[in-house]
Amino acid sequence: MLNKLQQVQITQGRADSTITQLTAEITKFKKNELQQAENQAQEMKNKLDVAKHQSVLEGGLAQLQTTLQRN
């Protein structure tokens, strides 16, 4: 009977260890996914900023061309 109890305790310890390892891997995976999402969001923000500046510059260029055509 004692041998069976020891076997159960060993098995339980291994199961607990496996659960701990899997939890750590899941946490790492989630962190990586979050980091990728943050990187993509930053990249999109940068692209939008560039597009905004480009639009402002194009507007200024159009005004300059209009002014030059009038003169």
Token look-up 């990586």 returns 32
Token look-up 């989630």 returns 30
pLDDT band at 28 (very low <50, low <70, confident <90, very high): very high
Instruction: Give me the DSSP letters along 15-29.
Output: HHHHHHHHHHHHHHH
* Domain ranges within the chain, ordered by starting residue: 1-71
The pLDDT of residue 1: 76
The pLDDT of residue 40: 98
pLDDT band at 2 (very low <50, low <70, confident <90, very high): confident
Please give the Cα distance from 10 to 32 (Å, whole number): 33
Please give the Cα distance from 62 to 68 (Å, whole number): 10
What's the pTM value of the predicted model, to 2 decimals?
Answer: 0.64
Token look-up 């159960």 returns 8
Q: What is the pLDDT of residues 35-46, one digit of tens each?
A: 999 999 999 999
The pLDDT of residue 71: 75
